[in-house]
Structure 1
Amino acid sequence: AVLGLDDRPQARTRFRPAVAGARAFTPQQLGTVYRFPAGTTGAGQRLAILELGGGYTDADLAAYWSRVGVTSPPTVRAVGVDGAGNAPDGNPSGADGEVMLDIEVAGALSPGADLVVHFAPNTDRGFLDALATAVHASPTPAAVSISWGQSEDQWTAQARAAMDQAMADAGALGVTVCVASGDDGSNDNATDGRPHVDYPASSPQALGCGGTTLHADPAGAVTGETVWFHGPGQGGTGGGVSDVYPTPAWQSGAGVPANTATGRPGRGVPDVAGDADPATGYDVRVDGKDTVIGGTSAVAPLWAALVCRLAEGLGRLPGPLGPQLYAGARAGVPTGGLRDITSGTNGAYSAGPGWDPCTGLGVPDGQALLDRLRAVHA
């Protein structure tokens, strides 16, 4: 079918470079903080990563796995879509930073999984084709990680409909599509002064992944975790209420507020969260240099890795995970399998008990989430 999809660059990366005095965590330390299920590595699972530029080198990955103690590293394979491919450009502040962050977080947290990185042109068509290629691959991935996006209002309705259908196809196959919610607070870098959510995180077919500021020791003891937000233009988690999608039935009990600009109800974003503040960011390696990166870009592969470990623990694909997390959700009440984040703001919205438009239902408690899913899937 002719979709009339734009050829303009469609999506932006969702990572933030290091800041002075950053307190970095390795992915494995965050796996401890978020209680990823013991005895699981993602073995037997596939994790697909979508990239719209940049690339990685095997030498960088080997050096990183060795430095952070991934003794049995994952297999990492690049797949080209629509003529694109693994093409590192040597700029750690560009797309290479995104690619390496995604692979290193996903791989360190699910080293038993097979990682397949799908490279496509940064266009509507490229984005869609990469997603479709990843979803319909064999074996079916447990999760797809997407750390690229754009303000919802910058997408054509036609392009969104095509992406939504591809993500619905993923859900029908049991795949969870984990998507970064944006790094520009509640206005998503828009210039009209109104709040906007980021797409594809705002799709009801996606698991929208927001960001926190984390204070914890290397052993995993948390002393504080709040919404990531440093002020307008300074970086902060995306989140809010969709202008175009109604509230899904499975989200209706969670207490999603009306859109602050339109006064209308809508799909609430994000669904979940994880550490994203560059000041408490991720210890990574990009283009031969060790550095610290933050952004909700890191939260999508973190959750994708968790989905792979949940799938291993369950002996089956658990997805799509989003609607299951909301089962029994009530406004102002914490949800099982997640740790509620109740402090902070992303500009137009504030955190509070239960679901909120900053950190969704909260950050993962991986073991508790596995126990909850085992009870459902028994």
Structure 2
Amino acid sequence: MARKVFEDSVVPLPPDDGLVAGGLVVQAAAPRNRAETMEVMFSLALPADSQRSLEEAVARGDVVPAGELAAIRAADGERAKLETWLEGHGFSVEHVSEDGTSVYTTSTVANLAKQLQVDMVQVTKDGITFTAARNAPSLPATVGEGVQAIIGLQPFRHANKHFRSVVPPIPAAEAARVLNSPPYLVSEILAAYGAAGLTVDGTGQTIAILIDTVPKTSDITAFWKANDLKTKASRIKKINVSGAALGPPEGEETLDVAWSSGIAPGARIRVYASGSLSFVALDRALDRIIADLPRNPGLRQLSISLGLGETFLGGPQGEVAIQHQKFLRLAAAGVNVFVSSGDAGSNPDQTGHGSHGPLQAEYESSDSAVIGVGGTSLQLTPQGAVSAETGWAGSGGGASIFFGRPVWQTAAGVPAGDRRLVPDVSLVADPGTGALLILNGAATQIGGTSWSAPVWAAFCALINEARTRAGKPALGFLNPQLYPLAGGPCFRDITAGTNGAFQAGAGYDEVTGLGVPNVGRLITALTT
């Protein structure tokens, strides 16, 4: 029987066991591994004309009416055929996304090997061993006709968090003692980016956070107290997407929630805890966010501080195609997704913590339907004015191998070429000029583009509130509206600093994008 092979759903592993490039060790699976259960997602493509119409709408910055967007879904016949085959061949169908594009299943390793015709092996990465597919999966051609990818067979490939701590932790009283010096407070960041004294605080807006676990409420309330903020814990909603036990806070989730709520204290925060950083778990969390939009009309901004170098993601019809469908749908619904560009500069490795990988951008920030947020180093005067701001060495950036140059990515300094460039914008991220955070009851100084992304999402909430007050609809996809403002008063151009292969300079650059915002002037430009 003819079969359809999904080459882009995995990265190839050599046929022989042993050490693999990138520090992986491959060895044969033991008989006990065959009884393990794995989560695998089967992705169906949208009809080509529907995909094209979404791409065009998002590129213009249009918001697609909810009824029209709901009608864009995978072909029901193809999905039903796939589900019938799965249920008849040892798979348990756990969940199907509302648009029918994502079918989430569980199955034993032995059954996956048989039904998908994959060689399941043991892969050790950074001391942790995973059961994974050595070769690309396949389906009977009649079943796989509408399927574009099968995800979850190589769990050693997963997203990385984008935050960096300065250790050891510092006493809270000492942290706030010297004004306008690191670790920075909310009021100091608001002043540095033209957002001090505004009459908006995010009221009526909701900011979504996608991460693997949730922060301690006591850490968030302690952060608010240290920053003299009057917001309430009831504004934070914690959603456990999978329902399984969540891991302890590590810092990323606390940073995202503390600073998004600190910059926009009137906004509601919805933390979507995926349970893990596997792509299957993240995909399901994105589906949950999309499903929740009708009941949360103020949810117009989403912060994601995760990523993986594009060269480690397989081909364009694998995980990238799956998440791009979801980001397109979010952008078309009027949700701006802010994604940190990474903390390993222009050459991230598989861990996202080094500068020893190939020259590459990190996905998800390179997606053409999100706003990629890079990082800077920020120095303030004792009075709170900006004395210097340069591109941070860790700021991820470069050209995408998956996405072509969007029509909106044009401005002074944008180099010639046909690839989507990252980042789009930036903000302070250097942990050396980092943020105050309360983690497990202790004050610490923290940074990374995981700081700049949620702050940008909170700035978006301020802009959307201002638009509501002005009688205007919420923002559409922001990038087509931001690039025409390059070089004007809405951005402060960052002209010094490097992330390895790229230099910050006049106009757009692959370290800091268009630069850093003046939020007050952005509000004026986007509400008049």
> Could you tell me how far apart the structure 2 residues matched to 1:265 and 1:336 are?
28
Give the one of 262, 265, 288 matched to 1:111: 265
2:476 is equivalent to residue 319 of structure 1? yes
Deviation string, structure 1 residues 31-61 (Cα, Å, up to 9, x no partner): 1111126011100001000012x43111222
2:378 is equivalent to residue 214 of structure 1? yes
Give the one of 390, 401, 426 matched to 1:243: 401
Give the one of 415, 419, 422 matched to 1:266: 419
> Could you tell me how far apart the structure 1 residues matched to 2:209 and 2:187 are?
19
Q: Which has the higher strand share?
A: 2
**Residue identity opposite 1:13 in structure 2:** K
CA RMSD of aligned residues (A): 2.1
Deviation of 1:135 after TM superposition, in Å, equals 3.2
Matches within 5 A, 1:1-378: 2-3=42-43, 4-6=150-152, 8=155, 10-18=158-166, 23-36=182-195, 38-52=198-212, 54-73=213-232, 75-84=235-244, 87-89=246-248, 96-120=250-274, 121-137=276-292, 138-140=295-297, 141-156=299-314, 157=316, 158-189=318-349, 194-217=358-381, 219-229=383-393, 236-257=394-415, 265-315=418-468, 316-327=473-484, 329=486, 334-375=487-528
Deviation of 1:369 after TM superposition, in Å, equals 0.5
Deviation of 1:65 after TM superposition, in Å, equals 1.2
In structure 2, do the counterparts of structure 1 residues 256 and 136 end up closer, same or farther at CA, with 3 Å as the change threshold? farther
| Preserved CA contact (<8 Å) 2:349 2:357 | no
> Could you tell me how far apart the structure 1 residues matched to 2:408 and 2:384 are?
32
> Could you tell me how far apart the structure 2 residues matched to 1:361 and 1:270 are?
8
Deviation string, structure 1 residues 131-181 (Cα, Å, up to 9, x no partner): 222233221412000001111122233211111111111111111000000
> Could you tell me how far apart the structure 1 residues matched to 2:377 and 2:364 are?
23
> Could you tell me how far apart the structure 2 residues matched to 1:286 and 1:151 are?
28
> Could you tell me how far apart the structure 1 residues matched to 2:225 and 2:495 are?
37
> Could you tell me how far apart the structure 2 residues matched to 1:228 and 1:328 are?
23
| Preserved CA contact (<8 Å) 1:241 1:257 | no
Identity fraction in percent:
35
| Preserved CA contact (<8 Å) 2:214 2:271 | no
Which runs of 5 or more structure 1 residues have no equivalent in the other structure? 90-94, 230-235, 259-263
Deviation string, structure 1 residues 245-298 (Cα, Å, up to 9, x no partner): 11111104454336xxxxx63111000000000110010011111101000000
**Residue identity opposite 2:183 in structure 1:** A
Secondary structure at 2:214 match in 1: coil
Secondary structure at 2:388 match in 1: strand
TM-score (norm 2): 0.64
> Could you tell me how far apart the structure 2 residues matched to 1:321 and 1:136 are?
22
**Residue identity opposite 1:36 in structure 2:** A
> Could you tell me how far apart the structure 2 residues matched to 1:242 and 1:303 are?
22
Secondary structure at 1:267 match in 2: strand
> Could you tell me how far apart the structure 2 residues matched to 1:218 and 1:40 are?
26
Q: Which range moved further: 304-313 or 131-140?
A: 131-140
> Could you tell me how far apart the structure 2 residues matched to 1:291 and 1:166 are?
35
**Residue identity opposite 1:367 in structure 2:** G
> Could you tell me how far apart the structure 1 residues matched to 2:257 and 2:460 are?
15
In structure 2, do the counterparts of structure 1 residues 28 and 81 end up closer, same or farther at CA, with 3 Å as the change threshold? same
| Preserved CA contact (<8 Å) 2:167 2:444 | no
| Preserved CA contact (<8 Å) 1:337 1:369 | yes
Structure 2 residue aligned with 1:92: none
Which runs of 5 or more structure 2 residues have no equivalent in the other structure? 1-40, 44-149, 171-180
Structure 1 residue aligned with 2:108: none
> Could you tell me how far apart the structure 2 residues matched to 1:122 and 1:369 are?
34
Q: Which range moved further: 7-16 or 38-47?
A: 7-16
TM-score (norm 1): 0.88
Query: How many residue pairs end up in the alignment?
Result: 353
Secondary structure at 2:164 match in 1: coil
> Could you tell me how far apart the structure 1 residues matched to 2:381 and 2:371 are?
28
Which protein has greater RCO, CA pairs closer than 8 Å, 6+ apart?
A: 1
> Could you tell me how far apart the structure 2 residues matched to 1:28 and 1:242 are?
35
In structure 2, do the counterparts of structure 1 residues 218 and 84 end up closer, same or farther at CA, with 3 Å as the change threshold? farther
Structure 1 residue aligned with 2:24: none
Secondary structure at 2:283 match in 1: helix
Deviation of 1:185 after TM superposition, in Å, equals 0.5
> Could you tell me how far apart the structure 1 residues matched to 2:239 and 2:412 are?
38
In structure 2, do the counterparts of structure 1 residues 168 and 183 end up closer, same or farther at CA, with 3 Å as the change threshold? same
The higher radius of gyration belongs to: 2
Secondary structure at 1:142 match in 2: strand
Q: Which range moved further: 186-195 or 169-178?
A: 186-195
| Preserved CA contact (<8 Å) 1:208 1:270 | yes
